[in-house]
Amino acid sequence: MANLVIAEHDHGSLKSATLNVISAAVAIGGDVHVLVAGENASAAAAAAAQVAGVSKVLLADGAAHAKLLTENAALQVVAVAAGYSHILAPATAYGKSVAPRVAALLDKAQISDIIKVVDADTFQRPIYAGNAYATVKSSDSVKVLTVRGTAFGAAAATGGSATVESVTAVADSGLSSFVSAELTKSERPELTAAKIIVSGGRGLGSGEKYRELLTPLADKLNAAMGASRAAVDAGFVPNDYQVGQTGKIVAPDLYIAVGISGAIQHLAGMKDSKVIVAINKDPDAPIFGVADYGLVGDLFELVPQLTAEL
């Protein structure tokens, strides 16, 4: 058995989600190889080689991968796929875009968003916004999987000493091209890897209030900041803040939900947090059904008080 992990990286370093995928591959058993498809990405490959549990890194370095276009990435995976029993990617925007292409090109089914490895053919995954967990067995010779990062601990970033092998990079497919990116700038920890998250919903009323109330709280806690879909739709914060079934899945040590009602789609993204605090003026809000500590009252009074106490 041999596992191929599709690394998510920015050429210079690995994205943290890659470390969780490596843990899932280790749980499956057998060799763990990592594919880094990038341009001038030897630093990312060197980082992958350090990760505990990895025995080989394949570096596909070429212009086709400069912008991490998913069509090219999928062709690259297929080019090196022979011999692997499992191909794994993170269940991130990147992994979700690449892995199904790989599966279809190999004529294999994909199992999305696995949260547990039962055995080499069998995996558990959430369905219906996490309201049910399905145990799914694949009859395909190659398993293509995406991995929910919060369900697997991060592999140690150091301690490994894998070899890095260069493989020929594919040519550009010409199907798509990069135009521009508008990335949210933040000094804060990444949402999906943060230990503490302060998250705001429609109850905050506006983007100004979201920032005025939650930024000082998040600063004191060195927290990442998240939001409900309603807060993103209303333009309080950018789309990458959205936590939920169709946004980001998070599981920090502490999740503070402010002015969020707790719709099932939101709970799907945060109910595996270790400790949940909810601040909401409605004592019957569903968020209190999952909160370890609920504070009923006006967030405009309570949040500044909490910030002052910290």
Partner 1 sequence: MKILVPVKRVVDYNVKVRVKADSSGVDIANVKMSMNPFCEIAIEEAVRLREKGVATEVIAVSAGLLQCQETLRNAMAIGADRAILIETDVELQPLAVAKLLKAIVDKEQPGLVILGKQAIDDDANQTGQMLSALLGWGQATFASKVEVSGDTATVTREVDGGLETISLKLPAIITTDLRLNEPRYATLPNIMKAKKKQLDNVKPADLGVDVTPRLTTLKVEEPPKRRGGVKVADVAALMDKLKNEAKVI
Ligand X SMILES: Cc1cc2nc3c(=O)[nH]c(=O)nc-3n(C[C@H](O)[C@H](O)[C@H](O)COP(=O)(O)OP(=O)(O)OC[C@H]3O[C@@H](n4cnc5c(N)ncnc54)[C@H](O)[C@@H]3O)c2cc1C
Q: By the criterion CB under 6 A, which residues form the site for ligand X?
A: 201-203, 228-231, 242-247, 259-261, 263, 265-266, 269, 280-282, 285, 298-300
Q: From the list partner 1, ligand X, none, which binds 298 (C-beta under 5 to 8 Å, kind-based)?
A: ligand X
Per-residue contact string for residues 92-111; x = within reach of partner 1 by CB under 8 A: xxx-xxxxxxxxxx-xxxxx
| H or E segment to which residue 47 belongs | helix 42-50
Question: Which tokens hold the place of 308?
Answer: 């002052």
Two structure tokens written together for 80:
């090196």
Distance CA 258, CA 241 (A): 14
Q: CB-based burial of residue 305 (10 Å sphere; 0-12 exposed, 13-18 middle, 19+ buried)? A: exposed
Paired strand residues for 197: 224, 255
Which listed option, partner 1, ligand X, none, makes contact with residue 293 (CB within 5 to 8 Å by class)?
partner 1
Interface mask toward partner 1 for 209-248; x: CB under 8 A: ------------x-------x--xx----xxx----xx-x
Q: How far is the CB of 166 from partner 1 (least distance, A)?
A: 25
Residue 156 Cα to chain centre, angstroms: 17
Q: Which residues are CB-neighbours of 285 under 8 A, at least 6 positions away? A: 261, 262, 278
Contacts of 270 (CB under 8 A, 6+ apart): 197, 199, 226, 243, 244, 249, 250, 251, 255, 257, 276
Residue 116 or 281: the one with the smaller Cβ distance to ligand X is: 281
x/- mask, partner 1, residues 52-91, rule CB under 8 A, reads -----------------xxx--x-----------------
Cα-Cα-Cα-Cα torsion 232, 236, 238, 242, nearest 10 degrees, comes to -40
**Minimum gap (Å) between residue 41 Cβ and partner 1:** 18
The 10 Å Cβ neighbour count of residue 128 is: 11
Q: What's the min distance (Å) between Cβ of 33 and ligand X?
A: 33
* Residue list 251-280, contact with partner 1 (CB under 8 A): 253-254, 264-265, 271, 274-277
Q: Does residue 302 interact with partner 1 by CB under 8 A?
A: yes
DSSP code for 214: H
Q: How far is the CB of 145 from ligand X (least distance, A)?
A: 22
Query: Counting contacts by CB under 8 A, is residue 1 touching partner 1?
Result: no
Give the separation between CA 52 and CA 193, rounded to whole angstroms.
19
- Closest to partner 1 by CB, 1 vs 133, is 133
- Shortest distance in whole angstroms from residue 282 CB to ligand X: 4
Under rule CB under 8 A, residue 294 binds partner 1: yes
83 binds, among ligand X, partner 1, none (CB under 5 to 8 A by kind): none
Instruction: Please tell me whether residue 119 binds partner 1 under the rule CB under 8 A.
Output: no
Residue 188 touching partner 1 (CB under 8 A): no
Q: Which of 256, 303, 296, 301 is nearest to 280 (CA)?
A: 296
133 binds partner 1 (CB under 8 A): yes
